[in-house]
Amino acid sequence: MKTEKNILRRILRGLMITMVMLSAMTTAVYAYDTKTAYFNKGYKKSGAYSQDIVAIAKAQTGKTKAQLHYAEAWCVDFVLDCAKLAGIPDSIIPNGKKTYGNAGTLYNLIMKSGGRRTTSPVKGDLVFYYCSSSGKYVHAGIYEGGGYAIEGNVSGKVLRYKPKNYIDSHGHSVASGTVKTIYVEPDYKEISRCAIQAPAVTYRGKDTRTNVSVSYRNQKLTSADYSVSYSGNSAAGTGRVTVTGKGRFRGSVTKTFTISRADIKDLGLYMTNGQKYRTYTGKAVRTSFILWNASGQLLRSGTDYTVKYSGNKKIGSAKMTVTGKGNYTGTRTVSFVIVPKQVAKPSVSTKVRGFTVKFKAPAGGASGYRISYKRHSSSAWTHVYVKASATTVTLRKLSAFAVYDVKVTAFVTVGKTRYFGTESKSSSVLTL
Q: Over the stretch 87-146, which tens digit does the pLDDT of each residue have? A: 999 999 998 666 767 999 999 999 999 999 999 999 999 999 999 999 999 999 999 999
CATH fold for domain 347-430: Immunoglobulin-like (2.60.40)
CA–CA separation, 222 vs 51, rounded Å? 24
Question: Does residue 17 carry a pLDDT above 50?
Answer: no
Q: Over the stretch 153-165, which tens digit does the pLDDT of each residue have? A: 999 999 999 999 9
Average pLDDT over residues 218-230: 97
Question: Does residue 32 carry a pLDDT above 70?
Answer: no
pLDDT at 25: 30
Q: What is the mean pLDDT of the chain?
A: 91
Residues 233, 253: contact at Cβ < 8 Å?
no
Question: Does residue 31 carry a pLDDT above 80?
Answer: no
Q: Which residue has the higher pLDDT, 123 or 73?
A: 123
For the chain, state the CA radius of gyration. 46
Residues 6+ away with beta carbon under 8 Å from 134: 170, 172
Q: How confident is the model at residue 309 (pLDDT cuts 50, 70, 90)?
A: very high
Residues 6+ away with beta carbon under 8 Å from 158: 57, 60, 61, 62, 63, 64, 68, 78, 150, 151, 152
Element (H, E) at 259: strand 252-260
Q: Over the stretch 244-292, which tens digit does the pLDDT of each residue have? A: 999 999 999 999 999 999 999 999 999 988 899 999 999 999 999 999 9
Q: How far from 170 is each of 37, 131, 133, 167, 181, CA to CA, in Å?
A: 32, 10, 10, 8, 17
Average pLDDT over residues 393-409: 97
Question: Does residue 16 carry a pLDDT above 50?
Answer: no
Question: Does residue 33 carry a pLDDT above 70?
Answer: no
Q: How confident is the model at residue 9 (pLDDT cuts 50, 70, 90)?
A: low
pLDDT at 221: 97
Average pLDDT over residues 355-382: 96
Beta strands in 352-398 (DSSP E): 354-358, 368-375, 382-387, 392-395
Q: Over the stretch 340-364, which tens digit does the pLDDT of each residue have? A: 999 999 999 999 999 999 999 999 9
Is the whole-model pTM more than 0.85? no
Q: What is the DSSP string of 268-331?
A: EEE--HHHHEEE--SS------EEE-TTSPBP-BTTTEEEEEES-SSSEEEEEEEEE-TTEESE
**DSSP 8-state code for residue 41:** -
Please provide the size of the chain in residues.
432
pLDDT at 28: 30
Q: Over the stretch 150-203, which tens digit does the pLDDT of each residue have? A: 999 999 999 999 999 999 989 999 999 999 999 999 999 999 999 999 999 999
Average pLDDT over residues 229-247: 97
Q: How confident is the model at residue 387 (pLDDT cuts 50, 70, 90)?
A: very high
Q: How confident is the model at residue 71 (pLDDT cuts 50, 70, 90)?
A: confident
Q: How confident is the model at residue 243 (pLDDT cuts 50, 70, 90)?
A: very high
Average pLDDT over residues 391-407: 96
pLDDT at 169: 86
Question: Does residue 15 carry a pLDDT above 60?
Answer: no
CATH 3.90.1720.10 assigned to domain 31-185? The reply is: yes
Of the candidates 265, 261, 266, the one whose C-alpha atom is nearest the C-alpha of residue 332 is 265
Of the listed ranges 37-41, 46-50, 71-75, the least confidently predicted one is 71-75
CA–CA separation, 273 vs 151, rounded Å? 79
- CATH hierarchy code of domain 191-260: 2.60.40
